[in-house]
Structure 1
Amino acid sequence: MSGAGESGVEEAYAGPGRPPQDRRQFFVKLLWIGIWLAFMGAPVTDVVKGDHTAWARALGALGLVVFVAAYLVLVFRHTSKALARTKVLATIAFLGALAVTLSLTLGTPWLVLFVYVAVSAGATLPMRLAARLIPLTTGVLVLIGLTGDHPREVITALVFPALLGGFAMTGVRQMIRTTIELREARATVAQLAANEERLRLARDLHDLLGHSLSLITLKSELAGRMLPDHPDRAAAQIADIEQVSRQALVDVRDAVTGYRRPTLPGELAGARTALAAAGIAAAVPAQAPEDVPGQQEEVLAWGLREAVTNVVRHSGARHCTVTLTPRQTLAGPLLELCVADDGRGPSGTRAGNGLSGIAERLAAVDGTLSTDPAPGGKGFALTLRVPVALGSAE
């Protein structure tokens, strides 16, 4: 049931390890990263109300703006697309130097900058390097804090956020890296599946047409040589050519029909994707029962496609549940497909073309169709039942 929620988030948020695709995703991602700048209250207050000269305040404000800009650029860019190691290290060194300079010249309120240096290291560096740099940054924070007023309170308030924030970001970085690898693996699997399907199609077409076309070529040559002197024998060869070509055409049509025939696993996956894209929370089985006869499976697959299309286009539902249940009846085993939603229900009593088509397909396999209110009385439930000999139903 998480597919719809994930889809809604992805529309607004680019997702971990993925660059923003539009202005909205850019600002949403910037907000998620920039929201942690709320902890910059101490240096901001010090710039506004601190006991400093006008020049010190101006330089402090400039330094804070530069620090925040460098921090946002580093974390924002790296979470979208990994930067070169040298650029990351140079930026973190710059942030660290700026934090040291501002803390030593303007006082302890600026020690919070070291927390952001530790977070930057955890978010952008490999675990082994970050595990060294985060404690080092915290150590510099402690050393500078000991030279200021109320060192115990300052150290207690900042040391743990620096350590915990830095090491927590190493986990976030690992999650982003795993997400990117998973996305690449999925793309690779999809490409391999497409390549395998092309190879299977080429192999099947070769098996179907190779022999027939070779035979047609051979008989055409024979008929050409026989035409001047033996027209009756040439006519026989041409008749054979016609028969072979007709059979080849039948074989190709059967093969194409097999390729185009929907399957339950494919339609379940398609239903999950379509409902998620429409923002409808979906509970869809991960697998279909095995050993379903081809004709019955095709009827259920068409019915599932039509039912999900109706839910997406017309129901206005927020939730949809798909179930596949083997049942044992007095008439024999059945496989029951039910698509239920919590939408507005049917707009009238007359069945549409889609339901009529489902009913006609079901009639061809002695199946039944029923339409009822969804459980709870709200929404619409479409139930298809087909007789089928399932191992789980015996």
Structure 2
Amino acid sequence: MPGVIEAVCGGLAIGFSVAVNAVLLGRVTGISGIVGGILARQSGLRWRLSFLGGLAGGGWILRKFLPNTVPIVSGTVSTLRLAAAGLLVGFGTRLGSGCTSGHGVCGLGRLSKRSLVNVLVFMASGALTAILTGSVSAYGAGSVVTKDLFTPDKNLLKSFVSFTTPAIMSLLGIVGASFALDANVSKKVHDFASPIIGSATGYLFAIGLGVAGMTNPVQVVRFLDFTKPYWNPSLAFVMGSALIVSLSAFSFLRKRKNQPLLSSQCYIPCVAEIDKNLIIGGALFGAGWGLGGFCPGPMLVSFFSRPEEQANQVVTGAMLIGAFLYQQMEKSRETSHDTAKGEDTRRETSRLNESENTSERVTSNGYSVQKVDSVFNEEDG
């Protein structure tokens, strides 16, 4: 299993991916938001799809050259557990507006109090669920001895450098060119560059997740369940190292008054309200994470790596169903709201029409006009 060094390297790759999307395109690299945006056909569809394509490419690389980073878990854990985990993750991340990447790496990188609350909630919920439901034992990993966390896997790190360097250099080239263009960027340049950036950052994100150990659900539940003798804290270094990069990126963006280098618009959230949906969504997501050991990004990368595996099919399918159910709930709520608003508008229109008709009747009757005038005179004098 990857240790601290691998976790830091993977986290830096994830953070760099987040930073590039934020600085160049003004986009938040939240996996649940990207998937939800595709389902809802929101703006930036080409970027979202290209990012998922990059995740798929990275997943294929992991399977082909680093198969231990995407282990086969079918047969080691119950289908019911995975289905429940996927549903909770899919619905919870949409209700709470984010996951480990959206709220964790991006939200904390923006110094968002709202994201901090969500992260604290899903971490607590995840740990509690993993402990109470025996997730480590469910994966049959209760007696697995953790390697020395500070002894690096040199072969894994060499592969990491080999597979990430081309993507990093390409993205750095785009960043450099963007600085040169800056205010002179046209919509054509943005539309051309956006899918390229999405694909490269998605690929880098996937490799980072795999090398860091996030695509191994056993390692995740052993991180969440800190009561076991072989607790593995290395995943804490993934978010820590990713935050080092994302904090710098969002700080740079703030200094530019949220003006990305390659986009005329910035899509960074500005909502600050800490509401019940944020907390309930975080709790549901955390429960699903603790139950199955998968959050949206690693779940998709695992599926793209091994689509034939039943476990990946079940948990990913359930996540998409959960996200879809949330979307349908939102549509129903919006429809009800619009209907109620329409009723209010019709009542107001009817009242105004009635008032206008009454006014017309009054002005067409000499007595009524005189009576109204006398009232006005009394009020005036």
Given the two structures, how large is their TM-score scaled by the length of structure 1? 0.28
* Structure with the higher fraction of residues in helix conformation: 2
* Structure with the higher fraction of residues in strand conformation: 1
Structure whose alpha-carbon radius of gyration is higher: 1
